[in-house]
Amino acid sequence: MARSALLNVMVQAALKAGKSLARDFGEVQNLQVSVKGPSDFVSQADFRAERIVREELLKARPTYGFLGEESEEVIGTDGAHRWIVDPLDGTTNFLHGIPQFAVSIALERNGEIVAGVIFNPATDELFVAERGGGAFLNDRRIRTAARRVLSDAVIGCGVPHLGRGHHGKFLVELRHVMGEVAGVRRFGAAALDLAYVAAGRLDGFWETDLMPWDMAAGLVLIREAGGFASDIKGGNDIFISGTVAAGNEHIHKALVEVVNRPIPKA
Ligand code: IPD
Ligand code: CA
Ligand code: CA
């Protein structure tokens, strides 16, 4: 696949940060961990990875803005472009030695995500997409799965935990979804979950209480893989609402309907 200069910059930044994360993952027991909130851990690895990504991206495009999870937002002098970065998505997995985590880098242009890179250094899987150029996993074209009905579908989700999210609301959503599908999965790294939808591993995915850096790169991957992504109500307010629902045209539509079913009367 031919990559644009910008996508190359993103890939190089993701690979470099991924190398640092892979090294730290090997020594995960020795990491110094600080507590950010209940069950929300931030490791030194996380900060190191963000520093690497930030340096690489701002070196290549000094005028662009930068929104990263672990540092102050940089407002660029170029008002049109902004990097959106999660240096380590799947922190809880990382700290528990579970190899399901990733660096996620997206480029926003005039409010639209135009390129995305998601790299899991533990599996050496590099997902990339650029608007109009298709989506790829390690240079092989990927597409969303072709299954059309929920009864055949495996659906990913996020599960709220101590101090995070609406537990009761999630249980209602899950109750409705689990009654309709072939399987439900919770892998623990939203960026990778979205990349898995793009690659056809998951037929669909929904989650609430997410941040732009959890979703940005995954959105362009899914769309370039032929899929659909919206907020959980089926609208365009993904970042504002912090929610996402994704899948191919059929699964996306069905999933939005099911997760929004009203709470059954007792
Ligand atoms: C988290 C992961 C997780 C999702 C959480 C996110 P982090 O990101 O994406 O899958 O359920 O809501 O906050 O904290 O590991 O970067
Ligand atoms: Ca994240
Ligand atoms: Ca993170």
Which residues are CB-contacts of 56 (< 8 A; sequence separation ≥ 6)?
Answer: 9, 12, 13, 16, 17
Tokens 């009864």 belong to 151
- Give the domain-ending residue among 76, 108, 141: 141
The answer on 191 and 130 residing in a single domain is: no
The answer on 201 and 126 residing in a single domain is: no
The CA distances from residue 64 to 54, 73, 75, 82, 222, in Å, are: 11, 11, 8, 5, 24
Q: How far is the CA of 188 from the centre of ligand 1 (A)?
A: 6
Q: Exposed (0-12), middle (13-18) or buried (19+): which is 159, by Cβ within 10 Å?
A: middle
Q: How far apart are CA 83 and CA 79, in angstroms?
A: 12
The answer on 174 and 67 residing in a single domain is: no
The answer on 233 and 210 residing in a single domain is: yes
Q: CB within 6 Å of ligand 1 — which residues? A: 86, 88-91, 158, 188-190, 207, 209-210, 214
The answer on 154 and 135 residing in a single domain is: no
The CATH number assigned to the domain holding 164 equals: 3.40.190.80
Range of the domain at 180: 150-259
What's the number of domains the chain is made of?
A: 2
Q: How far apart are CA 45 and CA 22, in angstroms?
A: 9
**Which residues on adjacent β-strands are paired with residue 86?**
104
Q: How far is the CA of 101 from the centre of ligand 3 (A)?
A: 9
> Tokens at residue 159, please?
């599960």
The answer on 239 and 113 residing in a single domain is: no
* The predicted structure's pLDDT at residue 30: 58
The answer on 78 and 178 residing in a single domain is: no
Q: How far is the CA of 185 from the centre of ligand 1 (A)?
A: 15
Closest CA to 232 of 158, 168, 163, 181: 158
In a domain, 54, yes or no: yes
Which ligand is the nearest neighbour of the Cα of 244? 1
The answer on 215 and 115 residing in a single domain is: no
Q: Are strands 125-130 and 134-137 parallel, antiparallel or unpaired?
A: antiparallel
The answer on 111 and 67 residing in a single domain is: yes
The answer on 13 and 82 residing in a single domain is: yes
> Tokens at residue 197, please?
């939808």
- Give the domain-ending residue among 120, 141, 162: 141
139 carries a ligand binding annotation = no
The answer on 74 and 135 residing in a single domain is: yes
In a domain, 9, yes or no: yes
Which residues are CB-contacts of 110 (< 8 A; sequence separation ≥ 6)?
Answer: 80
* The predicted structure's pLDDT at residue 41: 39
* The predicted structure's pLDDT at residue 189: 98
In a domain, 264, yes or no: no
The CATH number assigned to the domain holding 91 equals: 3.30.540.10
Closest CA to 194 of 235, 157, 167: 157
- Give the domain-ending residue among 111, 141, 171: 141
Average pLDDT across each block of 10 residues of the chain; the chain has 266 residues. List them in order. 90 98 80 42 78 97 96 94 97 90 98 98 98 97 98 98 92 97 98 98 98 98 98 98 98 98 78
Tell me if residue 176 falls in helix, strand or coil. helix
Pick the atom of ligand 1 nearest to 92's CA.
Answer: 15
In a domain, 204, yes or no: yes
In a domain, 50, yes or no: yes
73 carries a ligand binding annotation = no
Tell me if residue 4 falls in helix, strand or coil. coil
pTM equals: 0.95
203 carries a ligand binding annotation = no
In a domain, 265, yes or no: no
> Tokens at residue 100, please?
């399901």
Q: How far is the CA of 214 from the centre of ligand 3 (A)?
A: 8
Pick the atom of ligand 1 nearest to 89's CA.
Answer: 16
Pick the atom of ligand 1 nearest to 211's CA.
Answer: 13
67 carries a ligand binding annotation = no
Q: Residues in the chain, how many? A: 266
* The predicted structure's pLDDT at residue 263: 79
Q: Which of 89, 167, 193 to mutate to test the pocket of ligand 1 (most atoms within 8 A of CB)?
A: 89
In a domain, 266, yes or no: no
> Tokens at residue 54, please?
């930030």
- The DSSP code for 130 is E
